[in-house]
Amino acid sequence: MADEKEFIGGMYPKKPLKDFIKCQISINRKQFIDWLKNATSEENDTWINIDIKESKSGEKWYAEKNNWKPKEKSTGGYKSDITGAYTSDEEDNIPF
């Protein structure tokens, strides 16, 4: 995740007053639509993940864009052959 926080414009989460309500969110339509239009995302990125967080003081909640991206999959020094079996890179260097 990026170190810089990106707050969701126009989205205002609040602590609920009832136990059975987990979170209340108020949305200012104009602010949210403006933020959504300007939100940077990759061409194939159709989802925006949002984390509802509590301030350090515990008095306010806020909405932050979750920019976490998975790392490229690594086979840990192994590669797959045509059969799907994994072989170590070191095995390729064996002279026999």
User: How far is 12 from 8, CA to CA, in rounded Å?
Assistant: 8
Q: Which of 4-13, 35-44, 69-78 has the highest mean pLDDT?
A: 4-13
Pairing of β 24-27 and β 11-14: antiparallel
Please count the other Cβ atoms lying within 10 Å of the Cβ belonging to residue 52: 16
Domain regions of the chain by residue span: 11-66
The set of residues, in sequence order, having a beta carbon less than 8 Å from that of 50 and lying 6+ positions away, is 8, 11, 63, 64, 65, 66
Structure token digits, residue 81 = 């052959």
* Confidence label for 31 from pLDDT (cuts 50, 70 and 90): very high
What does the mean pLDDT of the chain come to? 80
Contact 65, 71 (CB under 8 A): no
Average pLDDT over residues 3-21: 91
Convert the pLDDT of each residue in 39-56 to its tens digit. 766 666 678 889 999 999
* Confidence label for 1 from pLDDT (cuts 50, 70 and 90): very low
